Structure 1
Amino acid sequence: MIDYRFDTQLLIEGENLSEDQIVAYITENIKGDCLLAVGDEELIKIHFHTNEPWQLLEYAASIGDIHDIVVENMVRQANNQKG
């Protein structure tokens, strides 16, 4: 069973980005699992499973320029459909 439907991945470009602050915000404010936030002060890659990918995108856009956005529906993928 998949609790969080959308595999959401993106890059955030900005200045003074902090992996720790990003992880803390997402953990406290957006329901999901499998969170990864890796990078440096100028570029962070995010990977997160959630049912509300728009919340993650909205937050990320508030702290930097977002691009290379991928949102895949893992329920469809599990059913051998296009995700």
Structure 2
Amino acid sequence: MLEYRYDTQLLIDGINLNEDEIYRQIAAGFEGDCLLVVGDETLIKLHYHTNQPWKVLEYCAGLGEIYDIVIEDMDRQSRGLKG
């Protein structure tokens, strides 16, 4: 069984976004692994493995408009099912 079940990916469109600060907030506030936060002050791409993707989405929605949201169930994928 995987420690973190959901592969969570999204884009954040905003103003004065800070990828380092977003990284710190996600890493400190939400349990998970494989965190990537890349972009600039108007567009951020986020990738994170977590068991509570809805909390990550809620945080990110507070930073700007979120879109291209993908949440894949890696446990189902590991069993050969659609994630």
| Corresponding residue number in structure 1 for 2:31 | 31
1:55 partner letter: K
| Corresponding residue number in structure 1 for 2:56 | 56
CA deviation after TM superposition for structure 1 residue 2, in Å: 1.2
TM-score (norm 1): 0.98
| Corresponding residue number in structure 2 for 1:18 | 18
Identity fraction in percent:
59
CA offsets, 1:25-51, max 9 Å, x none? 001100000000000000000000000
Indicate yes or no: 2:3 matched with 1:3.
Answer: yes
Q: What is the root-mean-square deviation in Å for CA atoms of aligned residues? A: 0.5
Q: Which runs of 4+ in 1 moved over 3 A?
A: none
CA distance in 1, matches of 2:2, 2:36: 18
1:12 partner letter: I
CA distance in 1, matches of 2:36, 2:27: 11
CA distance in 2, matches of 1:11, 1:3: 24
Aligned length: 83
Indicate yes or no: 2:74 matched with 1:78.
Answer: no
CA distance in 1, matches of 2:60, 2:18: 12
Q: Which runs of 5+ in 2 are unaligned?
A: none
